[in-house]
């Protein structure tokens, strides 16, 4: 960029009139230098070259969801477009739901679509866990080898600070936080809580108190939470206020009917969808957060009887045993939620309430009519 020499003196004049103005502006610094050393100014040149200033970050317009994306993800286009609009207006959302609802998968697919296939490096993923801290997420001191082989510590950026420093400020960037509710969120975010709510303001940093940091408006955050362990109930109001929460539930919203659409697209028998509906219908009587998502039944080996049996025995039943620990014995869990029992329920098309009535119509394993005789009235 070329700045006229007369404008440089004007910049210095403005600086003297406004002492609070930042002295890191390129034209101002050059004008001060030229004023102190006027002999270095070329007499036959009216303009001097100034390095281009950093590109300001803007909120990019996210692309609309397409029917092709919806078909590839086996969801409704309207549901996808609502997610895009939420990201556009809120910048940060959370997908939450029971196991197997595809929270992480959908977050990754949506983020990569919105970033563009040619910008795969614009999407980063981190996973929270109980020992994850601010120093891991934003910045902290790490052991480093110094001069002479001495071991010391250096301040290193974490994934959030690295992606915030990326160029292409007019392009969208995405940070996916997997298993967000497993971390101590207040400990991980620290003073960044403020920036999640006020994207247009800056804040001094814990380990860099002389620096100010702004969360770029072109950075979008998608978190995922699993509701099975109930830890989402302990997410504080500060996080709930700063994120839009989108429920992904097997029987509601975007995930409802996903398995049936997947099987139809693959030209497969809809048995797995009926089994999933029967299982969740039985689980709904206890707790809707314990329901099972469709991804368990979308694996390649789920299409065979042997594969389905293994999924049930080694993935679903252990999960349900843990869920019902202290309420149902292992034998009761297998009798109520085993594959054979769910097959019978799916074939009869009965719900949990019907099953309770059927069980109550038995006495010592015999139907009431057989035990006490048929009614004659």
Domain of 196 in residue numbering reads as: 67-247
Tell me 313's DSSP state.
Answer: I
Q: Is 62 a member of any domain?
A: no
Across 16-20, 63-67, 150-154, 328-332, least confident range: 16-20
User: CATH number for the domain including 136?
Assistant: 3.40.50.300
- Whether the pLDDT of residue 364 is over 60: the answer is no
Q: Do 187 and 77 belong together in one domain?
A: yes
Of the listed ranges 87-101, 145-159, 247-261, the one predicted with least confidence: 145-159
* Bridge partners, residue 222, by sequence: 93, 176
In the prediction, which pLDDT does 265 show?
Answer: 95
Q: Report percent pLDDT > 70 for the chain.
A: 75
Shared domain for 274 and 170, answered yes or no, is no
- Rounded distance, CA 84 to CA 217, Å? 15
Contact assessment for residue 183 and residue 129, using Cβ atoms and an 8 Å cutoff: yes
∠ CA 75-77-80, nearest 5°, is 80
Q: Are residues 27 and 85 in the same domain?
A: no
Residues 44 and 71 in one domain: no
Q: Are residues 84 and 230 in the same domain?
A: yes
Residue 170: band (very low, low, confident or very high) from pLDDT cuts 50, 70, 90: confident
Give the per-residue pLDDT at 33.
52
Residue 232 sits in the same domain as residue 151: yes
Same-domain status, 241 and 273: no
In 3D space, the residue among 299, 328, 324, 329 whose CA is nearest the CA of residue 312 turns out to be 299
Would you give the distance in Å from CA 281 to the centre of its chain?
28
The answer to which of 22-26, 63-67, 268-272, 335-339 has the lowest mean pLDDT is 22-26
Q: Rounded to an integer, what distance in angstroms lies between the CA atom of residue 142 and that of residue 120?
A: 28
Confidence check: pLDDT of 16 > 80: no
pLDDT recorded at residue 84 = 97
Q: Are 104 and 177 contained in the same domain? A: yes
17 and 83 both lie in a single domain: no
Enter the DSSP assignment of 311: H
Read off the pLDDT of each residue in 173-188 and give the average, rounded to a whole number. 93
pLDDT at 36 over 80: no
pLDDT greater at residue 361 or residue 331:
331
Q: Where are the beta strands (DSSP E) in the chain?
A: 2-4, 47-49, 92-97, 123-127, 139-145, 151-157, 173-178, 203-204, 212-213, 219-226, 244-247, 362-363, 366-367
79 pLDDT exceeds 70?
yes
Model confidence at 7, pLDDT cuts 50, 70, 90, reads: very low
Residues 6+ apart with CB under 8 A from 43: none
CA 5 from chain centre, in angstroms, equals 51
Distance CA 27, CA 117 (A): 39
* Higher-confidence position of 370 and 286: 286
Average pLDDT over the chain reads 81
Query: What local confidence, expressed as pLDDT, does residue 151 receive?
Result: 86
Angle between helices 352-360 and 271-284 (to 10 degrees): 70
Any domain includes 106: yes
pLDDT band at 347 (very low <50, low <70, confident <90, very high): confident
User: What does the pLDDT read at residue 82?
Assistant: 97
Residue 37, pLDDT score: 59
Residues 336 and 212 in one domain: no
Same domain, 8 and 35: yes
Tell me the per-residue pLDDT of 283-322, one tens digit each, with 9 for 90 and over: 876 677 889 999 999 999 999 999 999 999 999 999 999 9
User: Is pLDDT above 70 for 38?
Assistant: no
What pTM, to 2 d.p., does this model score? 0.76
Domain count of the fold of the chain: 3
Comparing 18 with 32, the larger pLDDT belongs to 32
Q: Which of 217, 247, 277 is the last residue of a domain?
A: 247
């Amino acid at each position: 960029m070329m700045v006229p020499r007369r404008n440089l003196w004007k910049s210095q004049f403005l600086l003297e009139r406004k002492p609070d103005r930042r002295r890191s502006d390129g034209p101002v610094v050059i004008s001060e230098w030229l004023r102190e050393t006027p002999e270095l100014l070329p007499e036959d040149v009216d303009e001097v070259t100034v390095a281009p200033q950093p590109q300001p970050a803007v909120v990019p317009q996210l692309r609309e969801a397409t029917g092709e994306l919806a078909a590839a993800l086996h969801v409704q286009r309207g549901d996808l477009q609502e997610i895009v609009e939420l990201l556009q207006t809120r910048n940060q959302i959370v997908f939450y739901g029971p196991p197997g609802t595809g929270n992480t998968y959908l977050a990754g697919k949506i983020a990569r679509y919105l970033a563009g296939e040619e910008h795969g490096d614009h999407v980063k993923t981190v996973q929270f866990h109980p020992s994850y801290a601010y120093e891991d997420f934003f910045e902290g001191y790490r052991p480093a080898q110094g001069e002479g082989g001495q071991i010391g510590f250096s301040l290193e950026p974490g994934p959030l600070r690295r992606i915030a420093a990326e160029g292409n400020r007019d392009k969208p960037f995405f940070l996916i936080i997997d298993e967000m509710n497993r971390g101590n969120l207040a400990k991980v975010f620290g003073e960044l809580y403020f920036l999640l709510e006020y994207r247009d303001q800056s804040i001094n940093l814990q380990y860099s108190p002389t620096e100010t940091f702004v969360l770029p408006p072109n950075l979008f955050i998608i978190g995922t939470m699993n509701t099975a362990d109930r830890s989402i109930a302990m997410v504080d109001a500060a996080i709930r206020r700063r994120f839009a929460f989108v429920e992904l539930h097997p029987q509601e919203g975007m995930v409802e009917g996903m398995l049936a659409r997947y099987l139809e697209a693959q030209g497969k028998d809809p048995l797995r969808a009926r089994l999933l509906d029967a299982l969740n219908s039985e689980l709904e009587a206890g707790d809707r957060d314990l329901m099972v998502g469709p991804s368990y039944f979308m694996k390649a080996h789920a299409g065979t009887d042997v594969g389905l049996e293994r999924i049930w025995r080694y993935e679903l039943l252990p999960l349900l045993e843990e869920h019902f620990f202290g309420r149902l014995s292992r034998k009761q869990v297998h009798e109520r939620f085993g594959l054979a029992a769910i097959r019978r329920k799916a074939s009869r098309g009965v719900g949990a309430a019907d099953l309770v009535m059927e069980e109550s119509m038995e006495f010592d394993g015999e139907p009431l009519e057989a035990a006490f005789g048929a009614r004659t009235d």
